[in-house]
């Protein structure tokens, strides 16, 4: 199947070169790390070909946005559009290409689609597909393989590396090291542990006193005032640190926090790919996708901006996690509701819900819901601990049908926006419906 996908990419590259000869290209890409890195790979490749193009980074596609796209340009969607193919095909565009890896239905004849889901759902990021496509356009584009790896890590696909991803890793000259999966692995341990959110370590994350206590317990002391980094630890030191973290995170297992660390050279410095991915994501969360794009293209003045945004993001995240940990919660059997109000920033709600749902603080099957004020709206993010058959998107849809609002997401990770005036009614419906849902699951 890999061969079939590569053949499709090769054919797509040839067709793209032919159809873009006398056409300006309009790139539309998703705002997350995978979408940003996909756009950066494509921009660099088109610049090498001396093509005329423009770029738009978006959070999602809707009919209004699609209708406003120029009909006479070659439209290129990256990391999105697979769920909008039917509408796009009927919108009067002359040439459309889609490079994506999300779930997809029937492919219209007038759109050239490259999607790994069409080939037994191969686990490859949109940036990986974009890279393979651009490598077909010009073999010199191998230098952008490292961006595809950033996208892969942004979509958390590093644990499912197959032949195609290995090929990209080899093209990118990425350094790979086994170690503790807390990032950044290249920074002093005291700072890494203080801002560690995956896993979330109770009384350590966001707590410098707890960090220093853990490091003393492991016999890890500063040398000339500086603590070692994860990649500097000996095997014995690594084992002590892993044991100390497992003891503090109850059900966390050794295999869950040990794995491959990917080191990538950006701005001529070797960096932990997970931290680079987090920086790109932070920019998009704060509405600075353009800065993230410049960062991926190694434009110097973007580096300092990205670092400042990332610090702001980390501080907001730690503050939000502290509030979520210490605040009084609305709890029942099988659910916990955390009303963050103004204390949890709306751009952090989803991340905090994800961290708490994977932190082993709550039992498998628990629904974790975080609410956050966003001007005159409330942003709601829902996650489920483990996989117990609950469909959170459908669950939220039932409530929003009553109170009004918009719902999006997946079965085990969903969210909605509702009016702030509906807060009390929404919470009461949440509690009631969660209890009914639990009875239904337990009796099935």
Sheet holding 367-374, edge to edge: 330-332, 335-339, 367-374, 377-384, 413-419, 406-409
**C-alpha torsion 102→105→110→113, nearest 10:** 30
Q: Closest Cα to residue 371, out of 395, 348, 390?
A: 348
- Through-space distance between the first and last CA atoms of the chain, rounded to whole angstroms: 38
CA angle 205–238–188, rounded 5-degree value: 50
Nearest residue to 267 (alpha-carbon basis) of 236, 306, 295, 246: 295
Cβ atoms of 86 and 108 within 8 Å: the answer is yes
Please say whether the beta carbons of 326 and 343 come within 8 A.
no
pLDDT of residue 387: 67
Q: Which residue, 72, 64, 59, is CA-closest to 25?
A: 72
pLDDT of residue 438: 57
Q: What are the residues whose beta carbons fall under 8 Å from the beta carbon of 362, sequence distance 6 or more?
A: 336, 356, 368, 385
Which string of b and e fits 92-124 if b means at least 16 CB within 10 Å? ebebbbbbbbeebeebeeebbbbbbebbeebbb
CA dihedral 326, 316, 154, 80 (to 10 degrees): 110
Report the C-alpha gap between 241 and 86 in whole angstroms.
Answer: 52
Burial of 5 (0-12, 13-18, 19+ CB in 10 A): buried
Q: Which residues lie across from 200 on neighbouring strands?
A: 197
**How do the pLDDT tens digits run along the chain, 444 residues long?**
556 899 999 999 999 999 999 899 999 999 989 999 999 999 999 999 999 999 999 988 888 899 999 999 999 999 999 888 999 999 999 999 999 988 788 899 999 999 988 887 678 999 999 999 999 999 999 999 999 999 998 887 776 667 788 889 889 888 888 888 888 999 999 999 998 877 788 889 889 999 999 999 999 999 888 999 999 999 899 999 999 988 887 666 666 788 889 999 999 999 999 999 999 999 998 999 999 999 999 999 999 999 999 999 988 888 999 999 899 999 998 899 999 999 998 888 988 998 888 777 788 889 999 999 988 899 999 998 876 667 888 899 999 999 998 887 667 778 899 999 999 999 999 999 988 765 454 444
Greatest Cα pair distance, the chain, in angstroms, is 67
DSSP state of 188: -
Q: Hey, CA dihedral for 2, 49, 279, 376, is it positive or negative? A: negative
For residue 261, list its beta bridge partners: 177
The DSSP 8-state label assigned to residue 226 in this structure reads B
Pairing mode, if any, of strands 95-100 and 74-78? parallel
Burial 308-340 (b: 16+ CB within 10 A, else e): ebbeebbebbbebbebbbeeeeeeeebbbbbbb
**Backbone dihedral region for residue 156 (phi beyond 0: left; psi -120 to 50: alpha; all else: beta):** left
Helix (H, G, I), strand (E, B) or coil at 280: helix
Q: Are 254 and 261 in contact (CB under 8 A)?
A: no
- Record the tokens describing residue 53, joined without a space: 């193009």
Tokens of 348: 């952090």
Q: Which residue has the tokens 């749902």?
A: 357
Q: State if pTM tops 0.85.
A: no
Q: What is the chain's Cα-based Rg?
A: 23
| pLDDT value for 172 | 85
Domains, the chain: 2-172 (3.90.1640.30), 177-320 (no CATH), 328-443 (3.10.310.40)
**What residues pair up with 114 in beta bridges, in sequence order?**
99
Question: What are residue 78's DSSP bridge partners?
Answer: 29, 99
Check if the beta carbon of residue 34 is closer than 8 Å to that of residue 126. Answer: yes
Per-residue model confidence (pLDDT) at position 444: 45
Strands (E), 36-101: 53-58, 74-78, 95-100
CA distance 307 to 279: 7
């Amino acid at each position: 199947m890999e061969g079939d996908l590569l053949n499709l990419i090769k054919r797509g590259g040839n067709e793209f070169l032919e159809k873009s000869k006398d056409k300006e290209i309009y790139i539309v890409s998703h705002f997350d790390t995978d979408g940003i890195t996909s756009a950066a790979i494509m921009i660099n490749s088109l610049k090498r070909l001396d093509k005329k193009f423009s770029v738009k980074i978006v959070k999602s596609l809707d009919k209004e946005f699609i209708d406003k796209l120029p009909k006479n340009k070659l439209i290129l969607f990256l990391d999105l559009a697979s769920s909008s193919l039917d509408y796009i095909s009927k919108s009067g565009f002359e040439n459309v290409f889609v490079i994506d890896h999300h779930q997809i239905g029937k492919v219209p004849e007038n759109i050239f689609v490259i999607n790994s889901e069409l080939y037994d759902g191969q686990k490859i990021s949109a940036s990986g597909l974009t890279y393979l496509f651009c490598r077909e356009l010009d073999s010199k584009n191998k230098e952008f393989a490292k961006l595809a790896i950033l996208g892969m890590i942004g979509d958390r696909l590093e644990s499912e590396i197959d032949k195609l991803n290995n090929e990209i890793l080899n093209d990118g000259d990425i350094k790979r090291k086994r170690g503790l999966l807390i990032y950044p692995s290249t920074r002093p341990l005291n700072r890494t542990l203080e801002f560690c959110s995956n896993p979330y370590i109770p009384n350590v994350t966001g707590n410098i006193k707890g960090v220093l206590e853990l490091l003393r317990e492991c016999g890890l002391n500063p040398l000339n005032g500086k603590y070692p980094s994860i990649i500097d630890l000996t095997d014995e030191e690594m084992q002590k640190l892993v044991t100390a973290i497992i003891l503090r995170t109850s059900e966390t297992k050794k295999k869950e926090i040990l794995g491959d660390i990917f080191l990538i050279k950006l701005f001529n410095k070797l960096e932990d790919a997970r931290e680079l991915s987090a920086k790109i994501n932070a920019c998009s969360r704060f509405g600075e996708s353009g800065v993230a794009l410049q960062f991926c293209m190694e434009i110097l003045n973007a580096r300092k901006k990205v670092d400042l945004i990332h610090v702001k993001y980390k501080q907001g995240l730690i503050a939000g996690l502290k509030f979520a940990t210490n605040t009084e919660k609305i709890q029942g059997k099988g659910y916990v509701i955390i009303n963050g109000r103004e204390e949890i920033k709306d751009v952090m709600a989803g991340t905090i819900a994800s961290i708490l749902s994977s932190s082993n603080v709550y039992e498998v099957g628990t629904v974790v819901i975080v609410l956050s004020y966003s001007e005159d709206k409330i942003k709601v993010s829902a996650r489920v601990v483990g996989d117990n058959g609950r469909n959170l998107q459908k669950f939220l849809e039932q409530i929003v049908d009553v109170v009004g609002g918009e719902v999006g997401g997946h079965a085990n990770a969903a969210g909605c926006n509702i009016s702030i005036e509906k807060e009390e009614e929404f919470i009461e419906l949440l509690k009631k419906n969660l209890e009914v849902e639990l009875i239904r699951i337990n009796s099935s």
